[in-house]
């Protein structure tokens, strides 16, 4: 027999009670203010009791529930011995807690390892797979939306755009998407690609260039980004991260916010360094395919390097320029051909420079 | 624990509040939760939340007796799915509108309007629904809490204050906050005891202006004392009426304690890569609950059951999705 408090569910007054554990039920004899009574609790109507400490609390029946609270006296042990296997004592949480520090440490570490594996390999791999299977029409449509949205904040130089488009037309390009170039007025020496074949070039970078091979290299670089679906992959990846975090923290509205916000964040998406190196290679390949001087790619890089403070912003998301030059130069000997002058390209280049 | 029991033995029974939860215990619960959520792709979330709340309530004590959270994963799962559905519809409308923005600007603004309108209806609805569910599923010594407010009066308070906040360029938001709290607390029941909130919007505005200016001049250090002031403003203005007698909640949390709490929590999160979240929760609960006491003649033995059962959890998770935290 144990001493405890009995609460009848109608008032909060704790009534002193004697609690007896019978084979198939619990008997509670209570006494308060000259009143007294006995309750019989059937095991199947006792509610699940978890997370108990020195005090064991049991609740019983429908609304409003009766309850008892028993402070120590070995009540918990006797309860578990007598009613072992009863549903109100079963708890996967309590049993995990009983594994102690060892169980917690193993559980915590394996969860951490799982999270790292998921974040470092799992999600990027899945996202890239998904992005690679993204239908071309959708990617083009998505790119078109983004392109229009981005152009709202820019002034397009239509004369230069037309000249640059002529240059691209004279260039031999291998791409899944029709390449559409746009020149915008901007002092920043920069250019960027949007999924679906859209390449945006700032007029400042055109002004800096001295050889048309540099331009071909730049276009090859940006088209490389598009062809290798770098933005789409990065977008898919950040979206998957967001979804995983949302699942863990139960925030649903965030997912949609990412989709809506992507237009503004896409310009800031940092292509990884390996993506940049791959795009540089694509730029070099384009020069090779068109029998242009492979040195154009190096000139392009040197132009970025020559005026460091001015270009810091552009460079910061990219590998160190000297490393990129070294990387390109290491590939140039593999290209053994004689550069051939290309009158169509040169004419388009002259026209572009004249505008 | 010992402190609680000695205080119970004194003749004037003091309704002490205490939180006895431990980080290790909560951590062991969260590990199971996260593992099950990963396996079920997040669908376990309502059950995980129920367990979390059941633990936190069980370890929060008033006059030596724990609170009980009666909500179940199943109830909240139904709410979770409904909430998810409503959000899916609203966001589909918004995304559709955004995609039409190029070709049909009118459609874009219509969609934006429907979306914003939908959200502004959902916020008071979520507050109301969550209060009804959460309070009804909370009990102490078998006595349930309850929320008696009507949806109509919540809408009225919400829209009137929203309107005033907009036309005063946000200055009225201090009154917005306090008036919503007044509406919530005056409808809050704990058995036959009734709550009320007496904070004044003007006081909150001054507190925020002072906090803002001092925080700038002290390069952010004052922000902990600002936060402490807010906690005091939110807690110390809560009154409880029981059989015609009034008591008040009172917190003794100091700015220094808040500083230790906040910086400690930040360091725990950073150095455990987020795994220490359980300790962040228990530390915060300790700081808030153990520094809080009920001043006055509140008699914890004299509460009577008055509320009916209510099990609709539709807006419990909706409030989560919108990041509405009330108490």
Q: Which of A12, A67, A248 sits opposite B301 (nearest CB)?
A: A12
Report the b/e string of B261-273 with b at 16+ CB within 10 A.
bbeebeebeeebe
Residue A145: both structure tokens together = 């939306």
Order of strands, sheet of A191-194, starting from the edge strand that comes earlier in the sequence:
A180-184, A198-202, A191-194
Reply yes or no on whether the pLDDT at A209 is more than 60: yes
Q: Which of A63, A93, A253 sits opposite B87 (nearest CB)?
A: A253
Span of A279-293, B249-263, B302-316 with lowest mean pLDDT: B302-316
Q: What is the CA radius of gyration of chain B?
A: 22
Burial of A30 (0-12, 13-18, 19+ CB in 10 A): buried
Span of A30-39, A83-92, B289-298 with lowest mean pLDDT: A83-92
For position A50, what pLDDT does the model report? 86
* Closest to A168 (Cα-Cα) out of A355, A348, A353: A348
* Closest to B68 (Cα-Cα) out of B60, B82, B58, B81: B58
- Average pLDDT along chain A: 81
- Using an 8 Å Cβ cutoff, are B98 and B108 in contact? yes
Task: Read off the pLDDT of each residue in A79-87 and give the average, rounded to a whole number.
Answer: 88
Q: Look at residue A51 and give its three-state secondary structure.
A: coil
Q: Which residue has the higher pLDDT, A96 or B208?
A: B208
Contact A11 B143 (CB under 8 A): yes
Complex-level ipTM: 0.81
Residue B295: both structure tokens together = 């001043």
- Report in angstroms the alpha-carbon separations of A136 from A269, A278, B295: 21, 21, 69
A256 close to B (CB below 8 A): yes
* Helix (H) / strand (E) containing A11: none
Q: Which of A12, A55, A252 sits opposite B143 (nearest CB)?
A: A12
Cα separation, A293 vs A332, in Å, equals 10
Cα separation, B243 vs A110, in Å, equals 54
For position A184, what pLDDT does the model report? 92
* Closest to B292 (Cα-Cα) out of B316, B327, B318, B264: B327
Q: Which residues pair with A92 in a beta bridge?
A: none
Contact B142 A67 (CB under 8 A): yes
A98 close to B (CB below 8 A): no
For position A98, what pLDDT does the model report? 75
User: How many C-beta neighbours within 10 Å does residue A26 have?
Assistant: 21
Reply yes or no on whether the pLDDT at B300 is more than 70: yes
Q: Which residue has the higher pLDDT, A258 or B309?
A: B309
- Report in angstroms the alpha-carbon separations of A119 from A125, A232, B231: 10, 18, 37
For position A29, what pLDDT does the model report? 94
Query: Which segments of chain A does DSSP mark as H helices, in order?
Result: 75-82, 92-97, 100-117, 123-132, 136-151, 158-170, 203-208, 212-227, 230-249, 253-266, 273-289, 295-306, 308-316, 321-331, 343-354
Task: Read off the pLDDT of each residue in A152-179 and give the average, rounded to a whole number.
Answer: 88
CA of residue A191 relative to chain centroid, distance: 25
Contact B302 A247 (CB under 8 A): no
- Using an 8 Å Cβ cutoff, are A267 and A192 in contact? yes
DSSP for A83-100, written as a single string = TTT-GGG--HHHHHHTTH
Which range scores top for mean pLDDT: A254-263, B87-96, B200-209?
B200-209
Closest chain B residue to A92 measured between Cα atoms? B32
Task: Tell me the torsion sign for CA atoms B82, B83, B87, B90.
Answer: positive
Task: Read off the pLDDT of each residue in A102-111 and give the average, rounded to a whole number.
Answer: 83
- All residues of chain B having their beta carbon less than 8 Å from the beta carbon of residue A246 are 42
- State residue A238 phi and psi, 5-degree precision: -65, -30
Query: What is the dihedral angle through the alpha carbons of B67, B72, B77, B78, rounded to the nearest 10 degrees?
Result: -100
Q: Look at residue A313 and give its three-state secondary structure.
A: helix
For position A244, what pLDDT does the model report? 66
Q: Which of B54, B142, B320 sits opposite A66 (nearest CB)?
A: B142
Cα separation, B194 vs B147, in Å, equals 10
- In the stretch 136-175 of chain A, residues with CB closer than 8 A to chain B read 145, 148-149
A259 close to B (CB below 8 A): yes
Q: A60 to chain B, minimum CA–CA distance in Å?
A: 10
* Helix (H) / strand (E) containing A335: none
Q: What percent of chain B has pLDDT over 70?
A: 90
Contact B42 A248 (CB under 8 A): yes
Cα separation, A131 vs A108, in Å, equals 32
- In the stretch 296-325 of chain B, residues with CB closer than 8 A to chain A read 300-305, 309, 317, 320-323
- All residues of chain A having their beta carbon less than 8 Å from the beta carbon of residue B102 are 145, 148
Contact B300 A111 (CB under 8 A): no
To test the contact with chain A by mutation, choose from B57, B69, B136, B142 the residue with the greatest count of A C-beta atoms within 10 A, namely B142
Cα separation, A310 vs A135, in Å, equals 39
Contact B87 A252 (CB under 8 A): yes
Count CA within 13 A, CB hemisphere, residue B203: 12
- In the stretch 11-50 of chain A, residues with CB closer than 8 A to chain B read 11-14, 50
Reply yes or no on whether the pLDDT at B212 is more than 90: yes
The secondary structure of residue A144, as a DSSP letter, is: H
For position A318, what pLDDT does the model report? 58
- Using an 8 Å Cβ cutoff, are A223 and A250 in contact? no
The secondary structure of residue A339, as a DSSP letter, is: -
pLDDT band of residue B81 (cuts 50, 70, 90) is confident
pLDDT band of residue B319 (cuts 50, 70, 90) is low
B253 close to A (CB below 8 A): no
Closest chain A residue to B191 measured between Cα atoms? A11
- Report in angstroms the alpha-carbon separations of B250 from A81, B17, B183, B236: 44, 11, 20, 5
Task: Read off the pLDDT of each residue in B58-64 and give the average, rounded to a whole number.
Answer: 93
Q: A353 to chain B, minimum CA–CA distance in Å?
A: 32
Q: A112 to chain B, minimum CA–CA distance in Å?
A: 8
- In the stretch 160-199 of chain B, residues with CB closer than 8 A to chain A read 191
Reply yes or no on whether the pLDDT at A308 is more than 60: no
Q: Look at residue A207 and give its three-state secondary structure.
A: helix
Q: Which of B25, B83, B309 sits opposite A63 (nearest CB)?
A: B309
Q: Which residues pair with A6 in a beta bridge?
A: A15, A68
- Using an 8 Å Cβ cutoff, are B15 and B63 in contact? yes
- All residues of chain B having their beta carbon less than 8 Å from the beta carbon of residue A259 are 95
Helix H, strand E, coil C: the string for chain B is CHHHHHHHHCCCCCCCEEECCCHHHHHHHHHHHHHHHHHCCCCCHHHHHHHHHHHHHHCEEECCEEEEECCCHHHHHHHHHHHHHHHHHHHHHHHHHHHHCCCCHHHHHHHHHHHHHHHHHHHHHHHHHHHHHHHHCEEECCEEEEECCCHHHHHHHHHHHHHHHHHCCCCCHHHHHHHHHHHHHHCEEECCEEEEECCCHHHHHHHHHHHHHHHHHCCCCCHHHHHHHHHHHHHHCEEEEECCEEEEEEECCCHHHHHHHHHHHHHHHHHCCCCCHHHHHHHHHHHHHCCEEEEECCCHHHCECCCCCCCCCHHHHHHHHCCCCCC
B45 close to A (CB below 8 A): yes
Q: A189 to chain B, minimum CA–CA distance in Å?
A: 29
Q: Which residue has the higher pLDDT, A224 or A262?
A: A224
- Using an 8 Å Cβ cutoff, are A184 and A254 in contact? no
Cα separation, A98 vs A89, in Å, equals 14
- Interface A-B, measured as beta-carbon pairs within 8 A, has a size of 129
Closest chain B residue to A108 measured between Cα atoms? B31
- Using an 8 Å Cβ cutoff, are B145 and B137 in contact? no
- All residues of chain B having their beta carbon less than 8 Å from the beta carbon of residue A112 are 273, 275
With a CB cutoff of 8 Å and minimum separation 6, the contacts of A34 are none
* Closest to A262 (Cα-Cα) out of B112, B117, B98, B115: B98
A254 close to B (CB below 8 A): no
- Using an 8 Å Cβ cutoff, are B30 and A111 in contact? no
Task: Tell me the torsion sign for CA atoms A144, A146, A149, A155.
Answer: negative
């Amino acid at each position: 027999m144990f001493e405890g408090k009995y609460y009848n569910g109608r008032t909060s007054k704790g009534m002193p009670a004697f609690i007896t554990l019978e084979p198939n039920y619990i008997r509670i004899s209570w006494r308060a203010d000259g009143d007294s009574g006995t309750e019989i609790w059937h095991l199947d109507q006792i509610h699940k009791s978890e997370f108990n400490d020195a005090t064991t609390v049991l609740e019983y029946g429908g609304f409003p529930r009766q309850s008892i609270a028993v402070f120590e006296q070995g009540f918990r042990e006797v309860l578990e011995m007598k009613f072992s296997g009863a549903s109100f004592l079963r708890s996967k949480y309590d049993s995990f807690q009983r594994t102690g520090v060892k169980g917690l440490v193993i559980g915590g570490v394996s969860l951490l390892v799982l999270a790292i594996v998921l974040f470092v390999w799992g999600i990027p791999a899945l996202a890239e797979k998904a992005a690679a299977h993204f239908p071309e029409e959708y990617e083009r449509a998505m790119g078109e939306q983004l392109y229009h949205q981005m152009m709202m904040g820019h002034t397009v130089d239509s004369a230069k755009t037309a000249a640059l488009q002529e240059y691209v037309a004279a260039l031999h390009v291998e791409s899944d998407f029709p390449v559409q170039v746009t020149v915008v007025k901007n002092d920043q020496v920069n250019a960027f690609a949007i999924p679906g074949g859209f390449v945006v070039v700032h007029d400042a970078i055109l002004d800096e260039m001295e050889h048309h091979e540099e331009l071909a290299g730049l276009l090859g670089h940006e088209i490389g980004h598009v062809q290798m679906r770098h933005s789409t992959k990065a977008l898919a990846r950040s979206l998957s991260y967001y979804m995983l975090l949302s699942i863990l923290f139960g925030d649903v509205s965030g997912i949609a916010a990412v989709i809506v916000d992507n237009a503004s964040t896409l310009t800031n998406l940092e292509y990884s360094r390996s993506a940049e190196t791959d795009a540089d290679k694509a730029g070099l390949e384009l020069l090779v395919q068109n029998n242009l001087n492979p040195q154009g790619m190096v000139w392009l890089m040197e132009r970025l390097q020559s005026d460091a403070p001015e270009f810091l912003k552009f460079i910061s998301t990219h590998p160190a320029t000297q490393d990129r030059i070294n990387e390109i130069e290491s590939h140039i000997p593999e290209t053994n051909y004689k550069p051939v002058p290309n009158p169509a390209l040169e004419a388009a280049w002259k026209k572009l420079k004249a505008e | 624990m010992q402190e609680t029991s000695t205080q119970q033995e004194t003749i004037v029974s003091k309704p002490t509040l205490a939180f006895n939860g431990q980080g290790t215990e909560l951590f062991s619960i969260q590990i199971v939760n996260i593992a099950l959520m990963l396996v079920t792709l997040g669908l376990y979330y309502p059950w995980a939340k129920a367990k979390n709340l059941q633990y936190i309530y069980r370890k929060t004590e008033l006059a030596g007796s724990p609170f009980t959270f009666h909500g179940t994963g199943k109830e909240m799962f139904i709410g979770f799915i409904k909430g998810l559905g409503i959000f899916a519809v609203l966001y589909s409308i918004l995304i559709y509108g955004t995609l039409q923005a190029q070709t049909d600007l009118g459609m874009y603004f219509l969609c934006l309007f429907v979306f914003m309108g939908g959200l502004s209806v959902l916020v008071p609805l979520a507050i109301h629904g969550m209060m009804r569910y959460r309070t009804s599923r909370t009990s102490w010594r078998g006595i349930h809490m309850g929320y008696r407010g009507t949806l109509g009066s919540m809408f009225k308070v919400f829209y009137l204050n929203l309107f005033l906040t907009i036309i005063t360029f946000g200055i009225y938001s201090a009154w917005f906050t306090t008036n919503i709290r007044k509406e919530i607390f005056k409808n809050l029941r704990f058995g036959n005891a009734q709550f009320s909130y007496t904070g004044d919007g003007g006081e909150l505005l001054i507190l925020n202006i002072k906090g803002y200016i001092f925080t700038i001049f002290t390069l952010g250090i004052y922000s902990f004392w600002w936060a402490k002031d807010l906690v005091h403003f939110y807690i110390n203005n809560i009154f409880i009426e029981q059989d015609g007698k009034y008591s008040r909640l009172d917190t003794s949390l100091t700015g220094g304690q808040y500083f230790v709490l906040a910086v400690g929590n930040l360091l725990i999160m950073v150095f455990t890569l987020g795994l220490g979240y359980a300790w962040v929760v228990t530390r915060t609960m300790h700081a808030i609950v153990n520094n809080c006491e009920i001043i006055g003649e509140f008699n914890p033995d004299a509460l009577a059951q008055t509320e009916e059962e209510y099990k609709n959890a539709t807006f419990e998770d909706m409030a989560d999705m919108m990041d509405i935290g009330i108490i």
